[in-house]
Amino acid sequence: MPFDGTYFPATTPYDTGLFPLWSRHGCRLWFQTRLRGNKIAPSMLRAPTPAERAFAVADLLRDAKSMIADPKDWTRCTYRSFGGQRCAVGALRAAAKRLDDPTIAWAAHALLIDVARSRGFTNVETMNDRSSHAAVMAAFDQAICAAERGTSPR
């Protein structure tokens, strides 16, 4: 029988790579799904309005962009260096640590993926590693505008 992967379950939002299992959000989500039986936290009973969600996503993207706004704070080929420099996804992860709802970070990451794909890259990491600092900043600007409009940046 050839290996085609058909017996693997469908991908979930947890498979994005944005929050590994050992991170705060990844561990919390794992505990919620495995041990607590998908119970909803009281703070998540009221769903945010689309305008609140769009504002939160745009705010997260602005925070991540400000972390790497200076070229000496930006790096390639690693999420975070020993000197404290970050790539685009590393800055997004660092900015998302203050959030209680990881779906905001996944939405921001999805917008950056859309920007990267519209530029011919397969993912944000490749766009970061093969582009200039100015191009990465422009990608954040494009994702922020798309978040504020509530649309895809394509």
Q: Taking the model in full, what pTM does it have? A: 0.71
pLDDT at 118: 95
- For 141, counting Cβ atoms within 10 Å of its Cβ (0-12 exposed, 13-18 middle, 19+ buried), the class is middle
Task: Please tell me whether residue 79 adopts helix, strand or coil conformation.
Answer: coil
Considering the chain, what percentage of its residues have pLDDT values greater than 90?
Answer: 56
Cα separation, 101 vs 115, whole angstroms: 23
> 72 vs 6, which has greater pLDDT?
72
Would you list the domain boundaries of the chain?
Answer: 48-149
pLDDT at 31: 61
Helix, strand, coil shares of the chain, percent, nearest 5, are 60, 0, 40
Cα separation, 151 vs 145, whole angstroms: 9
pLDDT at 50: 81
Task: Please tell me whether residue 135 adopts helix, strand or coil conformation.
Answer: helix
For the segment 58-101, what is each residue's pLDDT rounded down to a tens digit? 999 999 999 999 999 999 999 999 999 999 999 999 999 888 78
